[in-house]
Amino acid sequence: MAMAAPPFLATALLVLTLTALCSGNAVRAQTPVFACDASNATLAGYGFCNRKASASARAKDLTSRLTLAEKVGFLVDKQAALPRLGIPEYEWWSEALHGVSYVGPGTHFSPLVPGATSFPQPILTAASFNASLFRAIGEVVSNEARAMHNVGLAGLTFWSPNINIFRDPRWGRGQETPGEDPLLASRYAVGYVTGLQDAGAGNATDGALKVAACCKHYTAYDVDNWKGVERYTFDAKVSQQDLDDTFQPPFKSCVVDGNVASVMCSYNKVNGKPTCADKDLLSGVIRGDWNLNGYISSDCDSVDVLYNKQHYTKTPEEAAAITIKSGLDLNCGTFLAEHTVAAVKAGLVSEEDVDRAITNNFIMLMRLGFFDGDPRKLAFGSLGPSDVCTSSNQELARETARQGIVLLKNSGALPLTAKSIKSMAVIGPNANASFTMIGNYEGTPCKYTTPLQGLGANVDTVYQPGCSNVGCSGNSLQLSTAVAAAASADVTVLVVGADQSIERESLDRTSLLLPGQQMQLISAVANASSGPVILVVMSGGPFDISFAKASDKISAILWVGYPGEAGGAALADIVFGHYNPSGRLPVTWYPASYADTVEMTDMRMRPDTSTGYPGRTYRFYTGETVFAFGDGLSYTTMSHSLVSAPPSEVPVRLAEDHPCRAEECASVEAAGDHCEGLAYDVHLRVENAGAVAGAHSVLLFSSPPSVHGAPAKHLLGFEKVSLAPGEAGTVAFRVDVCRDLSVVDELGRRKVALGGHTLHVGDLKHTMNLRV
């Protein structure tokens, strides 16, 4: 999303204003503005206001009443008011990446609702490997969004989540995503979108939605600004195999399984075509193959970008025409409002094409209740300011951070016992972080609990930043005071890492080392410390901290992502053993040499032994790691044993005339009659063999035969289970051979590889041989 947004004090959603009463603290909202006011007899007679008709019929009725000049005003995010039909202004652009955000002009905060619950950035939430949590967060965010909408402060269309694959560890926006694995990203997308959109069984008529989510940025988007290569002009050269195997699955799941309301096309080109002007990607795949029930939006100013920066068309009218004809419905920006009428008059695009686009947009607003009258008299109308920042919502933010935090090293120092600690040194540029904890696409949080505050609530602390900022340059390094504090304390907690000055939208990293002189700060403090040293890394992307992993002076390492408003409290819960860590890394942590040898713009996923190219993500990367995908320690020991599994020999029963019955094949199609009934249960017994209660994420992987450049392993499923000491539980997976064990061949086709497939959870393995 373009951060060069219009000022968010300019035209909030529905042009709703707040009236602050200066007497005392009383604040009230104006009556919300809405279409189809039941008290207006003229409006009540319009077909588009007839709530008994279908959303499609109502949208077509509205479209039929508009002139071409009026129609183009409904192609852009800042939808103009149309007084003659009683339609108010509406701003489509609101954000809810990890809570209701003030990014985007459709939403803002006021004395009436001064903040909203700020959850961890998605990269940390994904580390929980807890699909029910993904949905629960979405439900809370949509409750708060609807509550704000009812008092004129928020929109109904939220352009979240970001489900791009975190392909390269330097990407500045990786923090916004669920990580590098397609299945994890897919499960996150479906869970969060369902939580946002689900209107409940009693309100599900005609596809009714609570709020409308949007999966972005479609597709193969993961370069923002790296060594001068910008997202606005980057052409992602992607093989069909990598596209269908890595980049597309989260979007497909979002549409097919999550029934998302919208997909947003990205700035970049894919194989020479801007995604927002690629008819095959938009009309062909999203709306055709996947049957999107919703609208397709551009990223902000993408249409302008493909004309003015990519020079993809010769005239602005051609740019307007090609995007609409490709399947774009809504332009974030003003380009289509400015150039579509001329494009129609020039015969470049038909008015029927414009009708199709705005009808899709109107149907979405119908499903959201925008044309149903006063929202306070509709479903969710009882939600209001008291439903925002509730204690339960804030506790869920803390619980999410607890579940996501990853323990990467522990020599036995953790958990700490507060009673035995007289003083704790809390050191580092992120040790007292507040705003840093909520990452980007943020909203005003309910409150902050910084690491210093969280730890200080348990023991006496001495605080030294060590560096005045995370850049930790020579001028900002404050070694002497930090060393002195560590030398005199019983235990030291170092909180280092990054913030938005290091990694963000429009800024990719060029190094995987900690910024500036953070490494020197850590080493000096660790060497001076008289007690255990706990290193905490606060960041979205991974760092090469091999020195700390190998150091005897550093007792434990925690990665906390950007942990949201309650990050400091959650950190303290882990450090002092109030909560047993169960997070698992959703990305690979590479050595620093990776950034020196692999171009960020090289989109290839698979390794190339002829050139020494090591590949990307745990599925294909062949080099050494600092920490691996799925790494994460606990304060207890969990054991796995196999209760039931597929047979070791599995016949794939092909039709009599199938060519692979007569000749040897490496694989068969992952569709057809031979896939029917080809599914098996995997039951695992998980036992807490330690003395501490805890949650445990069970990750089921498969290693397929080495055909079609198949991944070394890939995630089939994950489940989270909580067990008391000595307790055992059963975790069940359903493995569908054609769905779960298939790989993508060189032409982008799903195939089931014949031969041995090894299922594994931790050190537990089981091989099933697929044969004709």
Strands 229-230 and 649-651: unpaired
Residues 636 and 262 sit within 8 Å (Cβ to Cβ): no
Largest CA distance in the chain: 87
Instruction: State the catalytic residue, choosing from 181, 222, 245, 299.
Output: 299
* Inter-CA distances, 546 with 510, 625, 708, 725, Å: 18, 9, 34, 33
299 is catalytic: yes
Separation between Cα atoms, residue 266 and residue 249, nearest integer Å: 16
| Rounded Cα distance, 635 and 581, in Å | 7
CA distances from 167 to 2, 175, 588 (A): 21, 12, 10
- Taking the C-alpha atoms of residue 330 and residue 302, their distance in angstroms, rounded to an integer, is 11
Name all contacts of 618-624 with Cβ < 8 Å and 24+ positions apart.
618/180, 618/181, 618/588, 618/712, 618/713, 619/181, 619/246, 619/711, 619/712, 619/713, 619/714, 620/711, 620/712, 621/588, 621/590, 622/712, 623/590, 623/591, 623/594, 624/591
CA–CA distance, 163 with 251 (Å, rounded to integer): 7
For residues 405 and 574, the answer to whether their CB atoms sit within 8 Å is yes
Strands 424-427, 461-464: pairing kind: parallel
Q: Which structure tokens are listed for 198?
A: 């689900």
Question: To which H or E segment does residue 525 belong?
Answer: helix 518-528
Residue with tokens 């929980």: 128
| Residue type at position 235 | D
> What is the layout of strands, in order, in the sheet containing 215-218?
215-218, 262-265, 295-298
d(CA 564, CA 551): 29
Residue 436 in contact with residue 503, Cβ under 8 Å? Answer: no
Angstrom distance (rounded) from CA 189 to CA 210 = 17
Closest CA to 189 of 256, 141, 143, 100: 256
Smallest CA-to-CA distance from 263 within 164, 141, 182 is with 164
Residues 6+ apart with CB under 8 A from 628: 585, 588, 589, 618
Token pair belonging to 337: 């409002």
Q: What is the spatial distance between Cα 193 and Cα 214, in angstroms, rounded to a whole number?
A: 8
| Helix-then-strand count for the chain, H and E | 21, 29
**Residue 623 near residue 670 (C-beta atoms within 8 A):** no
Neighbours of 377 (CB within 10 A): 12
Which DSSP letter does residue 287 get? I
Q: Where are the alpha helices (DSSP H) in 327-443?
A: 335-345, 351-367, 391-404
Residue 7 DSSP label: P
Q: Look up tokens 């190219």; give the residue.
A: 613
Instruction: Find out whether 440 and 500 touch, Cβ atoms under 8 Å.
Output: yes
Active-site positions read 299
